[in-house]
Structures are given as C-alpha cells and as structure tokens.
C-alpha cells in the first residue's frame, strides 16, 4: 500500500521497495537534483521499519548514482555529473563512483588489449618533422587498411576515433534541417551529435540481422540525407548484420525513388573483436558508402585512431577541413598501430581477446537461460537486456554491487523510435565480466524479471 512520509511517497517497507519508490520520484522529477532527503532514522520511524532497512535502500540508491551522502548534512538527490558532456552522453556516463563490478562503460577489458612494449620499442624515439602538407595517413598504414577493407574504397584516411570520424562525415554531409536515418536503439552520442547539427532523426529498427528493410523503406519515405548504421556488434544490442541483409538494404537504397542521393555512413567500431564476417553496403554501393573502422575496442581507446574509406567526394573535404584544425592524426601513433596490425604476437593477442569476449557472452547467455531469462544473441562486448523497470533494475543491481548502463539514453525517448522498442532495458558490458557468470546472471535475472523466485534482491548481497 502506498503511503506518504515526509512528503515522499513510499510503496512498501522493504529496502527494495523504498529504493524503487525514491528512484521513481527522482526519475519523474518529483524529487529535484540537490533536494535533501529525510534522515534514515526519521524515515525509519515513519515507516515503522528499522534504520538498517532504510540504510540499505540509501546505499543502493547511492551505488546507482541517484543520491549522495554529505555526512551529518544528510543525503541529497545527486546533481548531474559530467556536466561538460552532451545530454544523452551524460546520461550514459552515469555515476563515476566505485562499485564491485562495473559493466556500464562499453569499454574493452584492458587485460585483453595487445601489449604495446614491442611496438613502442620498434617505433623511432625521435619525432618526425614532416611537411605540414604531407598526406595525413602514412603509406604503410594505408596499405594495411586497404588490404583489409570490405570493398574497394576510392579514398582512405585516418582520424581521431570512430566518433570523430562520424562527426566529421556528418558535418561534411548534413545541413541544418536535413533528416538522418539512425538506428533505435542506437548510440546516444549519435543522437546528441545530430541534435547539435540541427538534423532531424528518422528512426530505423534493428533486429538480430541488423537494420530491418521495412523500417529503412519507411525512413526513405521521409527523404533522409544520410543513413547512419553500425554493421557489427551494434551498440547497444550486439547485433551484427548478415551479408544477405546488407545486400537487401543496398538494393533497397539503389531502387527506392528517394535513395539515389542518400549517403550511408557505417560505424564498424568493434570489427576487430567481432566474430561476425566483415560486411558493408559498400560492396554494392561503393560510391555512396563511407565506412568507418575503429581500433579502440581491439587495440586500445587511447590510440584514438579510426580509418575512413569511401568516395573521394566525401573523404577529401574531411581531410581538407582537418588541415585547418588538427591537421593529421599523430604519425607516431599511426606507426604503432601498423606494428600492432602486422606483428604476429599482437595479432594473436587480439584473436585471443575475440575468443574471450565470445566465451563471456556465451557464458552469461547460458547462465541467464538457467534463470528463465531469454538473452539476445550478442556480438562484441555488449548485450541488451529487457528489464521490468529500468530504475528499479539499476537500484537492485547497484545493491548487488553491479553497475550497468541505463537503457533510456539509447532509445531517443523524445519521439524517435518508441514504436520500435517498447519497454525498459539496460546495456551490459559483458566484455568486462571476467568470472562468476552465474552470480552476475542471478543478479541480472532478479532485475529483469518482475518477481523472480530464488534469485538475488537487496537483502541478498552479491559477493
């Protein structure tokens, strides 16, 4: 039964009930950032429960990043962290405090990145002094990139990461008011980026084989300027596009009345650690596809290198614009990447990382099935898990010592895709789950199911 205490509506008297009630009030705006909460003892007295019960709820809310304790001053609704980040990216970043197991970041396991010592030892310790007008990609790296490109690209260059590549491609191709077809669920920084450019988002749905032809056909009816997609290990769902699906989408773009002038931008951010075959619509539409290949997930985010390949009419303006800014991506870093891409031991390390990520995905999926949760088929390091209630799931998992990413930033809830993905979700970075798949699955199942029997709750702490 719902009761009001100290101006706060609480439904139930268990730690999970109290935490979930507070979480809903914060999410719904009933409790504002910075607002002071009742003391543990005061709320416990009003609810008729022990102070330890309220304290457990407060601890869970704190781990979920919803409230913060200021000692004797009391507990307060947390104000936004990372205010320098764009809105949805900020929601994705979440709370930066400690936790037992952080599965929220979407980053690779640092223990599975190739070691840099050998490459650093082979790269000259003396910095180059090239002409400011030299080509921005060193010939050795361009040869390696072209040898592994999924289609014959007219022009290839490198920039500072996949998001930099997508940002520059959109800035070169999209004007204020243009429409861009983008996956929903999709990568929150893409939504923020399109908003910053003044572009309108047209949602396209994603299933286990990639963007669905039906949703792309509907999107083309709105005359988008660009289609932005992730061909492998789609973030957040982990879906990878099949060659059959890619060909069907390419033929749809080629034959649709509104498809002739559409540019396709593909963000292959996890290709090097994906178990799926390399795929690109550029195999059928080489003059209209800009393919982005990042090495952050496979070789290290701090390398800050992604390659862009596609028609010169798109790539050359990007190169020219960069010459008026950063100019080029560090050639020393480029040489390190060439070494990592061609050294046998480094290649073996990346292959082993791919096997480890695959094994972790399979282990979690099998464990979830044992608890009655049907997992999605996921590639790469992330998986997309339906839950009964997002905020309650975050709180319950935080109480178990596990942090995951909230699903709402991936759903563009301001009207761009709710018809495709009803319900609540969380994204789990399975790539960081080194052990105890059964224990993690138990906690996830408790969050995913409304009232699962025999699994973890706030009262059953994960250890």
Domains detected in the chain: 2-77 (1.10.10.10), 87-111+346-448 (3.90.1150.10), 117-342 (3.40.640.10)
Residue 413 clears pLDDT 70, i.e. is over it: no
Q: Kindly state the average pLDDT of the residues 85-105.
A: 74
Reading the block at residue 31, the tokens are 């409790």
Sorting pLDDT into bands at 50, 70 and 90, what band is 415? very low
State both tokens at 169. 């491609």
Report pLDDT for 330.
92
Are 426 and 387 in contact by the 8 Å Cβ rule? The answer is: yes
- Facing residues of 291 across strands? 266, 309
Q: Could you read off the pLDDT of 119-152 as tens digits, one per residue?
A: 888 887 666 777 888 889 999 999 999 999 999 9
Q: How confident is the model at residue 456 (pLDDT cuts 50, 70, 90)?
A: very low
Helix (H), strand (E) at residue 423: none
Identify the residue whose tokens are 């790269």: 123
Q: CA 454, CA 463: separation in Å to the nearest integer?
A: 16
Tokens found for residue 367:
């464990």
Rounded Cα gap, residues 333 and 317, in angstroms: 23
pLDDT at site 461: 29
- Can you tell me the distance from the alpha carbon of 448 to that of 184, in angstroms, rounded to the nearest whole number? 21
β pairing state of 179-183 and 200-204 = parallel
Candidates 295, 269, 283; CA nearest to 189 is 269
First to last CA, the chain: 32
Q: Are 169 and 292 in contact (CB under 8 A)?
A: yes
d(CA 203, CA 219): 7
Share of the chain above pLDDT 90, in %: 64
Q: Which residue has the higher pLDDT, 299 or 463?
A: 299
Give residue-wise pLDDT tens across range 330-378. 999 999 999 999 999 999 999 999 999 999 999 999 999 999 998 888 9
pLDDT at 462: 28
The CA distance from 455 to 260, in Å, is: 53
Q: How many CB atoms lie within 10 A of CB 185?
A: 25
pLDDT score recorded for residue 459: 33
pLDDT above 80 (res 327) = yes
pTM: 0.83
pLDDT tens-place string over residues 151-204: 999 999 999 999 999 999 999 999 999 999 999 999 999 999 999 999 999 999
| Residue among 185, 183, 162 nearest 237 (CA) | 185
């Amino acid at each position: 039964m719902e009761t009001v205490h100290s101006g706060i509506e609480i439904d139930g008297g268990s730690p999970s009930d109290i935490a979930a009630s507070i979480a809903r009030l914060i999410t719904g705006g009933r409790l504002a950032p910075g607002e002071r909460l009742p003391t543990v003892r005061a709320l416990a007295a009003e609810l008729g429960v022990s102070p330890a019960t309220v304290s457990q709820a407060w601890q869970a809310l704190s781990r979920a990043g919803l409230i913060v304790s200021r000692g004797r001053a009391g507990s307060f609704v947390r104000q936004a962290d990372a205010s320098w980040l764009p809105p949805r990216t900020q929601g994705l970043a979440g709370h930066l405090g400690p936790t037992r197991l952080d599965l929220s970041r979407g980053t690779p396991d640092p223990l599975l990145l190739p070691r840099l010592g050998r490459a650093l030892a082979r790269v000259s310790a003396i910095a180059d002094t090239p002409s400011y007008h030299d080509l921005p990609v060193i010939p050795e790296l361009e040869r390696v990139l072209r040898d592994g490109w999924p289609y014959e690209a007219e022009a290839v260059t490198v920039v500072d990461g996949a998001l930099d590549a997508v940002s520059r491609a959109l800035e070169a191709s999209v004007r204020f008011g243009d429409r861009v077809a983008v996956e929903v669920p999709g990568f929150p920084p893409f939504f923020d980026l399109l908003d910053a450019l003044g572009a309108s988002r047209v949602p396209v749905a994603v299933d286990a084989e990639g963007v669905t032809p039906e949703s792309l056909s509907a999107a083309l009816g709105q005359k988008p300027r660009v289609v932005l997609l992730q061909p492998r290990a789609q973030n957040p769902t982990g879906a990878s596009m099949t060659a059959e699906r890619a060909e069907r989408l390419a033929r749809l773009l080629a034959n649709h009345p509104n498809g002739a002038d559409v540019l396709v931008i593909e963000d292959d951010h996890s290709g090097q650690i994906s178990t799926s075959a390399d795929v690109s619509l550029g195999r059928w539409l080489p003059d209209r596809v800009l393919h982005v290949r990042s090495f952050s997930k496979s070789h290290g985010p701090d390398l800050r290198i992604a390659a862009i390949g596609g028609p010169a009419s798109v790539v050359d303006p990007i190169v020219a614009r960069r010459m008026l800014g950063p100019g080029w991506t560090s050639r020393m870093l480029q040489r390190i990447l060439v070494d990592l891409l061609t050294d046998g031991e480094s290649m073996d390390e990346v292959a082993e990382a791919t096997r480890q990520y695959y094994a972790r995905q399979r282990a979690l999926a099998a464990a979830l099935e044992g608890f009655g949760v049907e997992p999605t088929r996921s590639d790469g390091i992330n998986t997309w898990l339906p839950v009964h209630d997002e905020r309650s799931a975050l709180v319950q998992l935080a109480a178990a010592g596990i942090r995951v990413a909230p699903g709402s930033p991936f759903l563009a809830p301001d009207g761009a895709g709710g018809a495709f993905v009803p319900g609540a979700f969380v994204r789990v970075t399975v790539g960081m789950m080194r052990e105890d798949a059964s224990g993690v699955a138990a906690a996830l199942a408790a969050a995913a199911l409304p009232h699962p029997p025999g699994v973890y709750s706030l009262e059953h702490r994960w250890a």
